[in-house]
Structure 1
Amino acid sequence: YFIQSRSKCELQLSFHFFPLVSTSHLQLAAFAFGTTGWILCTISMGLVEWRVWHVDNTTIISSGIAWVGIWKVCFISYLHVSSDLKEQICHKMNDYETSIPKAIFVAQGLLLIAMVIGALGMASTIFALRSIYMGILYKTQIIRFFLVAGFLYLAAGLCVLIPVSWNFYSVVHNQTISFPPSFYMPSSPVTQEVGAAIPVGIISAILLLMSATFSFSYRFPVTTNARV
């Protein structure tokens, strides 16, 4: 009798569990995309290659190429070493330097925000998936976690997309930057092109927005007897 009762309970649990799990495939994809997007956001923020400037003055900028990021400006110089050795010189961009364009300072703030809320979105998704795969059938709790994750992924995606688009626009229109004299940088390049950080940021934003869409799309199975 005990074995028969146990088998009946296991069968009933499986009946409720599998319809719930089968509805969460997109949310698993949301977690995977969100995690990848968050990692790419972090990589994009750390890269210095947001804008690649080609300059005329090669006295200090020996290679004629400078990399403009959101935290610092870097270039290769032989001046401080010798003609046989090269040195990468970087200058950090600080808040008190009013000559630095708003697109760069906005990118600093928004990408930091994107990192924080993207991590919270992943945590919310983990809590929802944990409830599903452990058979904790609280309908309101699961749906709420996915909704919160969706809003967080959406906000993170927009926080990445805005600065990436703004800096892309600045590169396409060859906008100038009035660097402080200590940077040894010209105010305008001969030409400039998009650096690696911008496409990485675009992919990050797309993945985060896809994660938001998948999180919002969750529907609790009507056949499952769950607590509200």
Structure 2
Amino acid sequence: MVNTGMQLISFTCAVTGWVMAIAVTALPQWKVSAFIGSNILTSEVKWEGIWMNCIYQTTGHMQCKTYDSILALPPDLQAARALMCVAIFLGWLSCTVSCCGMKCTTCAGDDRRAKAGIALSGGVLFILTGLCVLVPVSWTANTVVQDFYNPNVPVMYKRELGQAIYLGWASAVILMISGAVLSSTCPHIERGGREYRRGYMGRSFPNSRPSPLASDPPKPFTSNSVPLKEYV
């Protein structure tokens, strides 16, 4: 019962992390304008995402434009596009597999070994999903930090970490922790022990004889136990 509750909690958290990863993919706030030095124009903020860049004005008006060329994107954003799409697909696959392997579902029937293997696979897939989110987010953050402290980069091109970066880190951590917990709730060790004991007790030795120590103790000799015969 405890494992079932842990599976439900970890699965719910993993689905939440997957939804957060989808939001990170869609949000344009991967890189935001840095207001440093002479760049004090705060009436508008520029956002750069993996699909589009947007200009948000203090009046509430926002204009977005998708990138015209994929090859013109920097390497970190190109990798982010690919890995985030892979993460979304792996997250969907993880949810499907984990549902089939959970104890509260009827998939795989009563085969506990099969359900444990399916649940373990779902947990591993969630961990891989978290890694696919963590890599592009961390790569983009490293690029932003390097450009920010690079004196050769003009001030107007310096960027800061956007909200999508922090949301991506949170999503990756939730996915990996939830996947690890979901994998650890599989009862493969406990079940394997029972199967081993059952297999050991089921062994038989047809040619063996019972040990004298295990046989019944001899009955005491009495006159009643000797058959009597009448002689003439």
Do the two structures share a fold, i.e. TM-score over 0.5?
Answer: yes
| Offset from partner CA, 1:142-195 (integer Å, 9 cap, x none) | 11211210221111111100011011111212269xxxxxxxxx9763642211
Distance 1:212 1:62, change over 3 A: closer
Which of 21, 32, 35 does residue 15 from structure 2 map onto?
35
The aligned counterpart of 2:48 is 68
Tell me how far apart the structure 2 counterparts of residues 57 and 23 of structure 1 sit (CA, whole Å): 55
1:113: how far off? Answer: 1.0
- SS at structure 2 position matched to 1:99: coil
1:201: how far off? Answer: 0.6
User: Conserved in 2, the CA contact under 8 Å of 1:30 and 1:212?
Assistant: yes
Tell me how far apart the structure 1 counterparts of residues 77 and 85 of structure 2 sit (CA, whole Å): 13
Distance 1:30 1:62, change over 3 A: closer
The aligned counterpart of 2:64 is 90
1:86: how far off? Answer: 7.0
The aligned counterpart of 1:208 is 175
| Offset from partner CA, 1:5-49 (integer Å, 9 cap, x none) | xxxxxxxxxxxxxxxx33333222220111000010011111111
Tell me how far apart the structure 1 counterparts of residues 2 and 62 of structure 2 sit (CA, whole Å): 53
The aligned counterpart of 1:167 is 140
- Matched AA of 1:25: G
1:140: how far off? Answer: 2.2
Tell me how far apart the structure 2 counterparts of residues 187 and 90 of structure 1 sit (CA, whole Å): 23
- 1:112 has 2:100 as partner: no
Tell me how far apart the structure 2 counterparts of residues 65 and 116 of structure 1 sit (CA, whole Å): 32
User: Conserved in 2, the CA contact under 8 Å of 1:57 and 1:64?
Assistant: no
Q: How many residues align?
A: 186
- SS at structure 1 position matched to 2:147: coil
1:132: how far off? Answer: 4.2
> Which structure has the higher relative contact order (CA within 8 Å, separation 6+)?
1
- 1:149 has 2:122 as partner: yes
User: Conserved in 2, the CA contact under 8 Å of 1:44 and 1:201?
Assistant: yes
User: Conserved in 2, the CA contact under 8 Å of 1:132 and 1:142?
Assistant: no
The aligned counterpart of 2:202 is none
Tell me how far apart the structure 1 counterparts of residues 112 and 14 of structure 2 sit (CA, whole Å): 23
Which of 140, 148, 164 does residue 197 from structure 1 map onto?
164
1:128: how far off? Answer: 1.4
Tell me how far apart the structure 1 counterparts of residues 128 and 54 of structure 2 sit (CA, whole Å): 31
Query: Which has the larger share of strand?
Result: 1
Tell me how far apart the structure 2 counterparts of residues 139 and 97 of structure 1 sit (CA, whole Å): 48
| Offset from partner CA, 1:201-225 (integer Å, 9 cap, x none) | 1111001101221122122444988
TM-score by length of 2: 0.69
- Correspondence list, 1:17-56, <5 A: 21-54=1-34
Cα-Cα RMSD: 3.0
